[in-house]
Copies of this chain bind each other. A is one copy, B any other.
Amino acid sequence: MILDKINSPADLKKISVSELPVVANEIREGLFNRLTKIGGHFGPNFGFVEATIALHYVFDSPNDKFVFDVSHQAYAHKMLTGRKAGYFDDSRFSEDSGYTNPDESEHDFFNIGHTSTSIALALGLAKGRDILGKKENIIAIIGDGSLSGGEALEALSVAGSELNSNFIVVVNDNEQAIAETHGGLYKNLKALRDSNGKSENNMFKAWGLDYIYEENGNDIASLIAVFEKVRDSNRPVVVHIHTQKGKGYELAEKDKEGWHWCVPFDRATGKPTVNFGSGESYFGVTSQYIVEKAKKDKDFVVVTPAMPMSVGLGPEERAKLGSQYIDTGIAEEAAVAIASGIARRGAKPLVVTNMTFLQRAYDQISQDVCINKTPVTMLMNYSSFDGLTDVTHLGIFGLAAFTNIPNLVVLCPSSAEEYISMLDWSIDQKENPVLILIPGNAVSHRPSDKNYSALNRFKIEEQGEKVAVIALGDFFQKGEELASAIKEGCGFTPTLINPRFASGLDKELLSSLEKDHQLVITLEDGILEGGFGQKIASFYGPDKMLVKNYGLKKQFYDRYNPSELLQECGMTTEQIVEDIKALLK
């Protein structure tokens, strides 16, 4: 392999341009090796192999600095910067995070996993460079629908006016987000593609940036030529390149959405090689509910910032929803505010995405929704410690972030029945903004109340004595386990409580516990700080009641083993029973 000789960008520059397509093929073999075995981002990486080679051929990393948006397309960059082993050596896959990571390499400047950040981060590098009086190329690389995010648009506008120095934005236009793109700006990209960059009303030029178009975004020689034109530019410039998402694997070229990301698969057939089981999943429960609800209630409308798959809405389900579905593209802020407007007008919006991405709309939830008490329902996927474990995609911060916003009802269902009841109640009620956390554990079943209008009513699932276990949401099952272990280990029956609401306390119920309980245990699926249990500790602060809060540490965990993490945080049933014995002494 030529790639054997390439351990740094300097090595790449020794290869002749005519041999570079061979390097591209070799890189794709590395991609295949890793992705067929452990999965990951497929389409974005396969489409960006040639561009990555050309970028490293023309620019001088790490003196010149690349910032990759989302950084899920940076696998080829990793292979060219000394990290081939993470792709070719099966025993070393775990060395590469799947995103850029300064701990891995001096060629990476940020740990990135959310969209639309690259232009602003790179602009900061450029401003810092200017402040320090240095010279180098700063290059932001953005694609896969990220350009429609507010942070990217803000930064693009700032670049067009506030920086009179080198700054290069590579718009990697593969005509696709994860699903199809949404947003007027993609009309402009299309017009520019269709006119070979010559269309009038060029959004980049409108904002004061220079602009170059390159149609052959998977041709290394063409890309080298265009990057050489802008190298050492002393003005902000956009290089708009047209690439093919999933390039080099026919199945992925045809089904761009399906192959944005992949699980381990068989290269010959494209079929997954892991078994997900055939049982119920919250994805399935949710998408089925949504499609049925839309059918029988024409005022119901789903709003998503480019994350329909977060609740299992594939192309087929979306077609069924028709005009009762609006994808804002990557635009969390607008999605939440639009939902507020929809609710104010009298229709019934449901916002769906992953918990970690909702952080983008923190202010909109507070100002546009909660101050206005518009009955928006927000349904969050991956809001558990036991979901995505990349540091940029953790679901463990949601309780701390959102339970402290006034007027927002945060519901944590503990079973499928409770989940659907809460969802159904929330969508139809007109009084409250509601955030619902999709349970992160396996689907479980238990009878549920139907109405949640009386806010903050906790539910005693089993009356006991001495110790009360308040186990929130998908940790209720751990609560049940703990209650059994207490019975067995301590010789008495504790009270087991399903709080259901994470955003307020059932003060009456909590006060009633003081009569025959000495200790309250809280369990929650998230960090402790700012979350659920600390509110209970504060409630009992002036009283004799002992309180022990269990939750994760306030920490950016990265690629952890979920059960080891619970142990590290002292949250296994055995550990908690030991604590209880000590506290009751």
The verdict on A301 contacting B131 (CB below 8 Å), with A149-B154, A556-B406 known, is yes
In the complex formed, the residue of B with least CB distance to A164 is: B323
Residue A248 at the chain B interface, CB threshold 8 Å? no
Please report which residues of chain A, range 313-369, place their CB below 8 angstroms from some CB of chain B when the two chains form the complex.
Answer: 323-324, 326-329, 331, 333-334, 337-347, 349, 359-360, 362-364, 366-368
Q: Report B-chain residues with C-beta under 8 Å of the C-beta of A149.
A: 150, 154
| Of A20-28, A203-211, A267-275, the one with at least 4 CB within 8 A of chain B | A203-211
Q: How far is the CA of A347 from the CA of B206 in the complex (A)?
A: 30
Residue A44 at the chain B interface, CB threshold 8 Å? no
Beta-carbon contact of B151 and A334 below 8 Å: yes
The verdict on A344 contacting B109 (CB below 8 Å), with A157-B148, A161-B184, A184-B209 known, is yes
In the complex formed, the residue of B with least CB distance to A582 is: B542
Please report which residues of chain A, range 114-154, place their CB below 8 angstroms from some CB of chain B when the two chains form the complex.
Answer: 114, 117, 119-132, 148-151, 153-154
Beta-carbon contact of B549 and A538 below 8 Å: yes
Q: How far is the CA of A537 from the CA of B542 in the complex (A)?
A: 9
Q: Report B-chain residues with C-beta under 8 Å of the C-beta of A128.
A: 301, 341-347, 349
Q: Report B-chain residues with C-beta under 8 Å of the C-beta of A157.
A: 148, 153, 183-185, 329, 331
Beta-carbon contact of B148 and A334 below 8 Å: no
Beta-carbon contact of B117 and A367 below 8 Å: yes
Residue A159 at the chain B interface, CB threshold 8 Å? yes
Q: Report B-chain residues with C-beta under 8 Å of the C-beta of A324.
A: 131
The verdict on A124 contacting B339 (CB below 8 Å), with A131-B324, A154-B328 known, is yes
Which of A67, A188, A366 is most buried by chain B, counting CB atoms within 10 A of its CB? A366
Q: Report B-chain residues with C-beta under 8 Å of the C-beta of A120.
A: 333-334, 337-338, 341, 364, 368
Q: Report B-chain residues with C-beta under 8 Å of the C-beta of A404.
A: 397, 400-401, 527, 529-531, 554
Residue A113 at the chain B interface, CB threshold 8 Å? yes
Q: Report B-chain residues with C-beta under 8 Å of the C-beta of A160.
A: 183-185, 187
Beta-carbon contact of A131 and B299 below 8 Å: yes
Residue A541 at the chain B interface, CB threshold 8 Å? yes
Q: How far is the CA of A153 from the CA of B331 in the complex (A)?
A: 9
Q: Please, what's the 1-or-0 string for A152-182, where 1 marks a CB less than 8 Å from any CB in chain B?
A: 0111111111100000000000000000001
Beta-carbon contact of B182 and A207 below 8 Å: no
Residue A200 at the chain B interface, CB threshold 8 Å? yes
Beta-carbon contact of A154 and B334 below 8 Å: yes
Residue A528 at the chain B interface, CB threshold 8 Å? yes
Beta-carbon contact of B208 and A187 below 8 Å: yes
Q: How far is the CA of A533 from the CA of B123 in the complex (A)?
A: 38
Beta-carbon contact of B202 and A183 below 8 Å: no
Q: Report B-chain residues with C-beta under 8 Å of the C-beta of A370.
A: 556
Q: Report B-chain residues with C-beta under 8 Å of the C-beta of A538.
A: 528, 533-534, 537-538, 547, 549
Beta-carbon contact of B301 and A127 below 8 Å: yes
Q: Report B-chain residues with C-beta under 8 Å of the C-beta of A363.
A: 114, 359-360, 362
Beta-carbon contact of B541 and A546 below 8 Å: yes
Q: Report B-chain residues with C-beta under 8 Å of the C-beta of A340.
A: 110, 121, 124
Q: Please, what's the 1-or-0 string for A541-555, where 1 marks a CB less than 8 Å from any CB in chain B?
A: 111101111000011
Residue A403 at the chain B interface, CB threshold 8 Å? yes
Q: How far is the CA of A547 from the CA of B534 in the complex (A)?
A: 12
Q: How far is the CA of A536 from the CA of B206 in the complex (A)?
A: 53
The verdict on A345 contacting B129 (CB below 8 Å), with A334-B154, A537-B534, A542-B547 known, is yes
Residue A102 at the chain B interface, CB threshold 8 Å? yes
Which of A327, A349, A400, A548 is most buried by chain B, counting CB atoms within 10 A of its CB? A400
Q: Please, what's the 1-or-0 string for A374-411, where 1 marks a CB less than 8 Å from any CB in chain B?
A: 00000000000000000110000100110111110000
Q: How far is the CA of A398 from the CA of B427 in the complex (A)?
A: 30
Please report which residues of chain A, range 189-228, place their CB below 8 angstroms from some CB of chain B when the two chains form the complex.
Answer: 191, 200-203, 205-209
Q: How far is the CA of A541 from the CA of B542 in the complex (A)?
A: 10
Residue A88 at the chain B interface, CB threshold 8 Å? no
In the complex formed, the residue of B with least CB distance to A151 is: B333
In the complex formed, the residue of B with least CB distance to A408 is: B554
Residue A535 at the chain B interface, CB threshold 8 Å? yes
Beta-carbon contact of B344 and A125 below 8 Å: yes
Q: Report B-chain residues with C-beta under 8 Å of the C-beta of A207.
A: 183-185, 187-188, 203
Q: Please, what's the 1-or-0 string for A493-511, where 1 marks a CB less than 8 Å from any CB in chain B?
A: 0000000000000000000
Q: How far is the CA of A121 from the CA of B337 in the complex (A)?
A: 5
Beta-carbon contact of B154 and A331 below 8 Å: yes
Residue A583 at the chain B interface, CB threshold 8 Å? yes
Q: Report B-chain residues with C-beta under 8 Å of the C-beta of A344.
A: 109-110, 121, 124-125, 128
Q: How far is the CB of A216 from chain B (nearest CB, A)?
A: 24
- 8 closest Cβ contacts across the A-B interface? A124-B341, A150-B150, A160-B184, A128-B345, A184-B207, A120-B337, A404-B530, A541-B547
Binding site for B on A (CB under 8 A): 67, 102, 109-114, 117, 119-132, 148-151, 153-162, 182-188, 191, 200-203, 205-209, 298-299, 301, 323-324, 326-329, 331, 333-334, 337-347, 349, 359-360, 362-364, 366-368, 370-372, 391-392, 397, 400-401, 403-407, 527-531, 533-535, 537-538, 540-544, 546-549, 554-556, 579, 583
Q: Could you list 5 examples of A-B contacts with CB < 8 Å? A: A117-B364, A123-B337, A128-B349, A158-B331, A538-B538
